[in-house]
Amino acid sequence: EKSGYEHFMLKEIHEQPKVIKDTINSVLTDENISFESVGLSDEDMKNIQQVYIVACGSAYHVGMVAQYVIEELTSLSVRVELASEFRYRQMKLAKNSLAIIISQSGETADSLAALRLCKDKGVRTLGIVNVVGSSIAREADNVFYTLAGPEISVATTKAYSCQLVAAYLLAMQFAKARGEISDERFAQLVEEINTIPEKIEKILEDKERLQWFASKVVNIKDAFFIGRGIDYAVGMEGSLKLKEISYIHSEAYAAGELKHGPISLIEDGTVVFSVVTQSALYEKTISNMVEVKSRGAKLFGLTTYGNYAMEDVADFTVYTPRIDNLFAASLSVVPLQLLSYYVSVGKGYDVDKPRNLAKSVTVE
Ligand code: M6R
């Protein structure tokens, strides 16, 4: 069932263009997004004032991206919370709010507990769930199913990517229903979101380069990921992918935080992966890269075609196709998935079943 791929993870990475397209097409026809199947009307979307996004692991990282996108497109206030923390806090949940619970399995114990807590407090819940009929899908007031299909590899790739587009589509429709986006901008985003699958195909065509780079870093002991905004959220995901399947100690930092402590960890040869796709923050992150380089860091730069100045500072550069800044995570995550995959293979580890981890975490 691996369809000729050596591991499920690699197969699932390659399935991304198709399953992303399926997920987009489940709610987007021509120029219109409809959440009728989800049970969210435009009227509902107009009345919501506060959004809580609650999840664990990679799904939480999707929530971080979603927060940036929703904040950029709408007037909604958004909070992203780790389910394991959220469930034990005494948060005062606002009226007219929507809690979005993101979960591939729909069975994650902490996410399910968070969902129940929201329901008890009278907060409407929306699940972004992959497994049909799972607990979160059954108990949430509304469900937006991602159409990633069965994900076997413990390290999530295609489900994460489908959750991202689900979040974009929600943000876009929130903006439209609330009259907060121009018709031109909405049409432009529709056009852009539809380019994600083919652009991922392009990145996958170049995977040998990442394989080569991975062979150079298989023996490193520590890795750092830096970025700002959406790039920070992608760095968090890249770092989790690397640590969970290659067992390399890895940390992700908001680039602006380096000076507040983490920079003291940089020494000669420390590998720093820098995600730099957000045009408004480009210069800022580059200057952080220069700072760590001057302390001996080896830099992996991940940016978009056109940002060739990256090569002046990075030791190894990977380019992703250009896309609207809001959707950049969908492209920049792919080289990081491939990188962690090849590092794990290079170390001879059990890629699909990393030690100590379960595909679905049904106990807290
Ligand atoms: O099934 P869920 O989406 O609720 O799972 C959440 C996390 O356990 C999951 O994303 C985990 O972090 C993955 N192993 C990451 O690859």
Cβ-contact 180, 73 below 8 angstroms: yes
Token readout for 176 is 């439209």
Q: Cβ neighbours of residue 82 under 8 Å, at least 6 residues apart?
A: 54, 55, 56, 60, 110
Q: Phi and psi for 303 in degrees, rounded to 5?
A: -145, -175
Using the atom order of ligand 1, give the atom closest to the CA of residue 131: 1
- The pLDDT of residue 44 is above 90: yes
pTM: 0.97
Helices (H), the chain: 8-14, 16-25, 42-47, 57-73, 83-86, 109-120, 135-139, 158-177, 183-193, 196-205, 207-217, 230-246, 282-293, 310-313, 328-346
Q: Pocket of ligand 1, candidates 86, 160, 361, 363: which has the most ligand atoms within 8 Å of its Cβ, to mutate?
A: 361
Cα 249 to averaged position of ligand 1 atoms, centre (Å): 19
- Nearest CA-CA partner of 102 in 74, 144, 70: 144
- Nearest CA-CA partner of 354 in 229, 227, 248: 248
Q: Phi and psi for 194 in degrees, rounded to 5?
A: -70, -10
Kindly report, residue by residue over 239-282, the tens digit of the pLDDT: 999 999 999 999 999 999 999 999 999 999 999 999 999 999 99
- The pLDDT of residue 186 is above 90: yes
Q: How many CA atoms lie within 13 A of 124 on its CB side?
A: 16
CA distance linking residue 255 with residue 257, whole number of Å: 5
Is the ipTM beyond the 0.95 threshold? yes
Closest residue by CA, ligand 1 atom 9: 57
Cβ-contact 340, 245 below 8 angstroms: yes
- The pLDDT of residue 312 is above 90: yes
> Strand 316-320 vs strand 77-82: parallel, antiparallel, or unpaired?
unpaired
Active site residue 284: no
Using the atom order of ligand 1, give the atom closest to the CA of residue 55: 4
pLDDT score for 95:
86
User: Ligand 1 in contact with 134 (CB < 6 A)?
Assistant: no
Token readout for 350 is 């059990």
User: Ligand 1 in contact with 59 (CB < 6 A)?
Assistant: yes
Kindly report, residue by residue over 57-109, the tens digit of the pLDDT: 999 999 999 999 999 999 999 999 999 999 999 999 988 999 999 999 999 99
Closest residue by CA, ligand 1 atom 11: 57
User: Ligand 1 in contact with 360 (CB < 6 A)?
Assistant: yes
User: Ligand 1 in contact with 104 (CB < 6 A)?
Assistant: yes
Cβ-contact 125, 112 below 8 angstroms: no
In three-state secondary structure terms, 114 is helix
Please, what is the Cα angle at 77 between 331 and 48, to 5 degrees? 105
User: Ligand 1 in contact with 105 (CB < 6 A)?
Assistant: yes
Q: At what angle do helices 328-346 and 207-217 cross, to 10 degrees?
A: 50
CA distance linking residue 342 with residue 212, whole number of Å: 9
User: Ligand 1 in contact with 84 (CB < 6 A)?
Assistant: no
